[in-house]
Structure 1
Amino acid sequence: MKKIVFLLFWLNLLVKAEDVEIKLTEVTDSLDQPWSLTFIEKNKVLITEKHGRIIQINLSTKKRKEIEHNLKIHAYNQGGLLDILYHKDTVYISYSEQRDDVKNQDRVGLSSTSIAKATFNSDYLLFSNIFRAEPPIESGYHFGSRLVIKDSYLYATIGERGLGMIAQDGKSHPGSVIRTFLDGTVPQNNPKFLDLEKKDWLPEIYMIGVRNPQGLTLSSFDNKVYMSNHGAKGGDWFGSADEPGGNYGWKILGWGGTNYDSTSIGPKWLPGFVKPLIYWVPSIAVSAIIIYEGNEFSDWNGSALITSLKDQSLRKLSFSNSEVLNEKLIFKGKIGRIRDIKIQNDTGKIYLLSDHGSLWLLENKSIRIKGDVNGDKVIDIFDLVMVADQFGQKGYDLIGDINSDGSVNIFDLVLVANYFGRNTTNAAPAVNSDVVLSNEQKKHITTGISYLEDKLRRSDEEEFALGLLKSILPKRFTSQTQLLANYPNPFNPETWIPFRLAQSSTVTARIYDSLGNQIRVIELGYLRAGNYTESNKSIYWDGKNKNGEQVSSGIYFYEISAENYTEVRKMVVLQ
């Protein structure tokens, strides 16, 4: 017989392990400093190599092809061919552009972060610039740069080129987030045109105060753009790129980091500046990011996936509004420095680029069906037991939180009951005779039954769930000993709880609120077998909690324990 103790031991091991078992497969290792990838078809990607090549790879056949182009790239130090984005038969690209043109002919080595677009052609890409960061700068550092399309707007991050306080100058592009239309023209609702304090800003600038932004992504869940940014010696962060006119504060703020010589930069944050959702001190060298959406890792939907260079890691952030709820390390040190991350939309599988020249595929090695709490590929009584065991707990990454609402409650019990019998094997679902339920688990399942019974209208799924939950309990209770309905019910402020006792034993009554929290214990001591149904013999509750406070109106549960017998019933306080 499978015991609950064994199940809980197994559950603890599961919680300490990763929430999924991942599989990493190297698709190709023949790339030269790859920087970015974008899907052009289901099984075809374009990849940029920092020194200037654009490579097309068929993921099914592994066939690769170099696509020629006309870009004039300044491939020096951190500069080169950078981000690439395919959208509606058009390729957008960011790169470090040589700027020794006529205007700057007296200065050698000038470059800027620039953006170009071309109609897709698998033989040759004829790009034309739609943006150039001004002024051009003689530096090989901090170009950025990532691209995202939201609605009809193109967002791009522009690094501050190692010049620090230039990021506070709205008359210069370095150190900013820009927003244009897809042809490079300027929206008239950018900050320059709507905020008198920003009237001197360059028209493309949307936000300022960033240092070396390495990640940019659009969330389909809230239609907001998010970014990642390198600090100096510490102070990497992840935050919103959708705060028009916002200022992240570089180099007034140090984001918790210091200069590379360990001298101070400035405070971590000050009022008036945009605040990141999360900082990393010491630095992990945060890189590309995505907000996950897909079926391969369905439990990750809505979470940010954060890659890193120095830390060589992939992290998952669960966040809501302005708060990070949970950070989890998925893997570290497996594939080297991670430069980019993208999702194959129709499958939800994840592709990663590493600096040492490889494209990797990340898959879920053991996909679970919804409601399969213990991961045995069958939804059965054991899954119900595990949900019941976590009943009332709140937090994220609780395996009993089937609907991912941050708590384990009646809705999760109903969901598991509704999915009962589904499996990815030929095994039959376990039935109730295989499990010994604890008193707490009985109480929580009874709560589920009461909730469903109280509904005036129940869906077919809820009817099925009610029948299943009821089928679990009959053999759990001794027939002779019986807990009866309290009277009066509803009541205010006191009630009596009658019961029958089959064997002489020590009897304890407990009162719980609607969330399953114990609020009162009534010790009756050792009682002889008999009927305790009259008011002078039954359990008396004065409607107060353990602190002597009168409880509020609502649904409560009362439980009686005697020897191996436990039963729970519902009552209502009506003030």
Structure 2
Amino acid sequence: LWDVTTGENIATLEGHIRGINELSFSADGRVLASGSSGAILLWDMTPYLDPITISEPERNTADINGDGIVNVLDLISVASQLGSVGTNLATDVNGDGVVTILDLVSVAGMFEATTAAPSAHSQTTLTAAAVRGWLNSARSLEISDPIMNRGLVILEQLLVSLTPRKTVLLSNYPNPFNPETWIPYQLAEDAFVTLTIYDESGQVVRTLDVGHRIAAFYESQSKAIYWDGTNEFGEAVSSGVYFYHLSAGDYSATRKMVILK
């Protein structure tokens, strides 16, 4: 046997009394079979194998949830632990013992190229206000690291994706309904929001003062305006066509809905 790299003779295997016709290694290279007329010998190759050390691939510290990709979910994980102090914290990306805005920006800086836009799922827990706050905190620091500078760019892109391009009143759901419904909308700018509900004759049925709202998507049941189908006196209104009017800053719009009992 020779070392294929150095050409050095490793061992001489003796046992056949006739010429060897065939040689074959096992799949793991630990057994050599040699065949000659009337004899097959098996040789243990283990002593001649160089030990192979298999090491675990180095884990990306920014992949907080260990799913193999750095994205918005990892960002949310770090944000939920901001201010935490301790050792071996998964969200302490830079390993300084405390979870800070630096860890969050570092995670953003290691986003995959296609993960800057949040999924519908992550939008339920990620808001434009939160991202804006992160950016304000990060910009107050002196950052020169290329990865962290990229993180700032990613956060800016994320803020854009979480902010509607225009304010719009959407269709309520369900519609027709009985007795409750949700009225979704989008705000391109912060505004005081009011929803007024009218009957077919134009009489005000209910006014819902939503209050000041930041620019964001208000489309899920937890964020949309809720109406329980009652008037200002808490009385259930009758079946019929109703109109809902949204006022938000300089924006106003009206849409139709139907109560069907």
Give the TM-score of the pair, scaled to structure 2.
Answer: 0.41
More strand by share: 1
The structure that is helix-richer by fraction is 2
Larger Rg: 2
The one of the two structures with greater contact order (alpha-carbon pairs below 8 A, sep at least 6) is 2
TM-score, structure 1 as length reference: 0.21
